[in-house]
Amino acid sequence: MNTERAPSVLGGAAGVASGAGEVTVPPFAVIPGGQVRRALDGREKQIIDVIEATYRLHGAGETVNPPSSFLRFPDRPSSRMIALPASLGGESPVDGLKWISSFPENVRSGIPRASAVLILNDPYTGYPFACLESSIISATRTAASAASAADRLSRDRPRPTRVGFFGTGLIARYVHTFLRGAGWSFDEVGLYDVSPAGTAGFRAYAEQSGETGRVTVHERPEDLIRAADLVVFATVAGEPHVGDPTWFGHNPVVLHVSLRDLAPHVLLASTNIVDDVDHCLRAATSPHLTEQLTGDRDFVHGTLSDVLAGRVRIPADRPVVFSPFGLGVLDLAVGSYVYDEVARSGELRLVPDFFHERSRYG
């Protein structure tokens, strides 16, 4: 995992000067979405490596990842803004915050549901040194996490050849891109969405992306799930709407990216892997509702870092569900990767004198 600061910009590690240990205020950079996309395009395998390295650091206790803070609105109950503070350790530490909004009504106007910025802070002085457009970073880390889980959770069973996307928006597109970029190929690609425009848009994207599998739009949720051995839930559902465990009787790998689609009885009939137990079992997620129903967490079999470390094996004789709450340290890792790539390109946009007061006494 490469998250070192660019020496030409920050003199090695941000805020650290040579010799006597004097620290300085780092320069401040703004990285817009176009630069973010160029830094990430075509690098799916590298980003999955970054994500897995971050999960390992998290599993080893070398991160700080407090609970996310939710800002909700009485007059806009479907919308929310979320603050994800985090600190990433390891050889190239960085602190920071993702501030992301989710306004589902945006979709009616043809714009994405989510928008976000990411602030990277120098761990030696605490000063922010970059602000990055982060809806792309957020979608990227979500998709890379899902692609990693798809690979790791299917290693003791036949590799899935039929993928089904339950919800066909931006996140589904990113997951598909990362699966293909990581070397997956499918005989069949199933689609289901409550919006016909959503499935039509995804079909057009799939054709343009070079997808060779047969693309099928399903009229019923049950048909999509039964026809896929890798199921990707990427909806904006606020509460469970899939509750029949028999739909999963063929033991698929389920990437429960949107977290609130599956009723507790589906999870209780499955092997359950999360990204972080405490984070995932809160905020009325499906795992949280399952804990409330059962009164315990015994249905959770482990985390993805446990799977990466070989501490948890995935049985092939029941469905396996990956429910990732989304860790702020993943955003920091991908954001740091983007920062380094942009700095190395020589195109980093610094904001001179952003921090004007640099002396305690003027």
In single-letter form, the type of residue at position 159 comes to: R
Q: Which of 132, 111, 109 is nearest to 120 (CA)?
A: 132
Sequence ranges of the chain with CATH classification 3.30.1780.10: 7-138+328-345
pLDDT at 48: 98
Q: Give me the DSSP letters along 279-316.
A: HHSSTT-HHHHHHHHHSSSTTEEEEHHHHHTTSS---S
**Would you say 263 and 195 are in contact if contact means Cβ atoms under 8 Å apart?**
no
d(CA 151, CA 11): 38
pLDDT at 125: 94
From residue 232, give the alpha-carbon distance in Å to each of 55, 57, 74, 162, 169: 21, 26, 31, 11, 12
**Would you say 172 and 234 are in contact if contact means Cβ atoms under 8 Å apart?**
yes
Q: Which of 199, 207, 142, 149 is nearest to 169 (CA)?
A: 199
pLDDT at 21: 62
What would the two tokens of residue 86 be? Answer: 């985090």
Determine the average pLDDT of the residues in 37-61: 97
Higher pLDDT, 106 or 331: 331
Q: Is the dihedral of CA 233, 105, 173, 37 positive or negative?
A: negative
d(CA 42, CA 247): 35
d(CA 289, CA 28): 43
The architecture of the domain spanning 7-138+328-345 is 2-Layer Sandwich (3.30)
pLDDT at 3: 36
DSSP alpha helices (H): ranges in 130-217? Answer: 135-153, 170-181, 196-209
pLDDT at 24: 87
pLDDT at 104: 86
Provide the strand spans (E) within the chain.
29-31, 63-64, 69-72, 80-88, 94-102, 114-121, 128-133, 162-166, 188-192, 214-217, 230-233, 253-256, 271-274, 300-303, 320-323
Q: Give me the DSSP letters along 183-200.
A: T---SEEEEE-S-HHHHH
pLDDT of 135 above 90: yes
Using pLDDT thresholds of 50, 70 and 90, give the confidence band for residue 110.
confident
d(CA 280, CA 177): 25
Q: Is the dihedral of CA 251, 256, 261, 265 positive or negative?
A: positive
pLDDT at 318: 97
Crossing angle of helices 135-153 and 44-59, rounded to 10°? 80
pLDDT digits (tens, 9 = 90+) for 63-89: 999 999 999 999 999 899 999 999 999
Sequence ranges of the chain with CATH classification 3.40.50.720: 142-323
pLDDT digits (tens, 9 = 90+) for 20-42: 467 789 999 999 999 999 999 99
Paired strand residues for 232? 165, 255
d(CA 94, CA 87): 6
Say how many Å lie between the first and final Cα of the chain, rounded: 40
**Pick from 7-21, 42-56, 117-131, 193-207: least confident:** 7-21
Mean pLDDT of the chain: 92
The architecture of the domain spanning 142-323 is 3-Layer(aba) Sandwich (3.40)
pLDDT at 10: 34
pLDDT digits (tens, 9 = 90+) for 292-322: 999 999 999 999 999 999 999 999 999 999 9
